[in-house]
Amino acid sequence: MNGKQILKLGFGLSLLVGIFVMADFQALATMVQQMHWGYGIVGMMAFSVTSALDMWRFRIASPSAAQIHRFAFFRMHIESYVMAQLLPGHMGVDAYRVATLGRSSGKGYMEPAIILFALRIFGLLVMLGLTVFLFLALPQWRELYLPYLYNAMPLWSGVLTGILLLLFATFGALLWRRVKPDFQHRFAGVGPAWQALTWPRLMWLAVISLAMIALRIVTFLFTLWAFNIEMGLWLSTSVALCAALSWLLPLSPAGVGVREGVITGLLVWLGVTFTPALAVALLNRVYFVLFAAFGGVSFLLPKSRTELSTQESRL
């Protein structure tokens, strides 16, 4: 870990500590004792299915991933949850998968990296679009931002437009400077990967991605029900989408503190008392930690050469 990562870890842990400082641990223990474990277990099952779809989607999309033996690919997938603790947001998960595939397949790192990036962007845009739509449609959220929007509409519109244009111009210039000298070398393998994405396969990827988003929402709903929190479907969906988006923000390793703060803060704003809101946030974290624990066990077990070998794609 470099100094920047340590600062981000400190930021996330400070947020988490701040949340716990406000917590009533006796009330929290009572909430856990009264939890509906059936809903919690079903939520874990939904989380597991989401993870399985994520693994299947990547294997369909990437020719390099399709060539890895299934058991080795499963181990790589589950172990990536451990690596999430080392990098901000979702970066640790993807970095480990790209590094493992690049080393095992012998075809380089660019193709799986581009594929994963495209899959993440698709999911991000869909979730962001749904979130914006719900924030505009639901009166509970309009009460939050409309007063500020009306008071600062001309100023904010000009400032935001200028910032966006500057960011796009800067990002485009930096990207072009980086890829221009050896564009073809860096993106070798991306062309064949794109050609392998036929329309039927693209439709499958879109369906799987949408199913994953739906399952993330279902998982969150079950965590609410586990602590007897009744909330409208669309309002719950908006909080679930914000929680999912917060995990993608590169502010702390695996979104520690950030995700809990977003879930707890939004639920409290919507009228849920602090203790059950924190319990929901922690249960969502427990799902991820359990997967990381399984991945840690797999990571410590020896890997044979057979597991690291490749096979011809059957897709």
Whole-model pTM: value is 0.80
Domain count, the chain: 1
The verdict on residue 10 lying in a domain is: no
CB neighbour list of residue 42: distance below 8 Å, 6 or more residues apart: 222
170: Cβ contacts below 8 Å, ≥ 6 apart: none
* Closest CA relative to residue 281, chosen from 18, 2, 4: 18
CA 278 – CA 37 distance, rounded (Å)? 17
Predicted confidence at residue 255, as pLDDT, reads: 76
- pLDDT band at 67; cut points 50, 70, 90: confident
Min mean pLDDT across 56-60, 119-123, 163-167 is at: 163-167
User: Is 42's pLDDT higher than 90?
Assistant: yes
- How far apart are the C-alpha atoms of 9 and 16, rounded to whole Å? 11
| pLDDT exceeds 80 at position 144 | no
Token readout for 201 is 């396969």
In Å, how far are 74, 112, 200 from 315, measured between CA atoms? 17, 16, 12
Tokens encoding 133: 């739509």
| Domain assignment present for 120 | yes
Within a domain: residue 204? yes
Q: Is the predicted pLDDT of residue 161 greater than 60, yes or no?
A: yes
- The answer as to whether 182 is a domain residue is no
Task: Kindly tell me if the per-residue pLDDT of 27 is higher than 80.
Answer: yes
Residue 123 CB-half CA count within 13 A:
28
- Chain mean position to CA 278: 20
The answer, yes or no, to whether residue 261 has pLDDT greater than 70, is yes
CA 259 to chain centroid, in Å, comes to: 10
Q: Count the neighbouring beta carbons within 10 Å of the beta carbon of residue 192.
A: 11
Helices (H), 84-109: 91-105
Specify whether the CB–CB gap between 64 and 103 falls below 8 A: no
Average pLDDT over residues 68-93: 83
Mean pLDDT of the chain: 80
40 contacts 227 by C-beta, under 8 angstroms? no
User: Contact, 312 vs 105, CB < 8 A?
Assistant: no
The residue type at 135: F
The predicted pLDDT at position 312 comes to 41
Q: Is residue 144 part of a domain?
A: yes
Q: Which domain holds residue 271?
A: 32-151+189-301
pLDDT for residue 69 is more than 70: yes
Q: What is the dihedral of CA 110, 113, 118, 120, to 10 degrees?
A: -170
- Give pLDDT, residue 248: 78
Residue 81 lies inside a defined structural domain of this protein: yes
Residue 306 pLDDT = 47
pLDDT for res 313? 40
In a domain, 26, yes or no: no
Q: What percent of the chain has pLDDT over 90?
A: 26
pLDDT classification of 19: cutoffs 50, 70, 90: confident
As a whole number of angstroms, the distance between CA 125 and CA 137 comes to 18
49 domain-assigned: yes
Cβ–Cβ < 8 Å for 212, 82? no
Which of 9, 84, 96 is CA-nearest to residue 293?
84
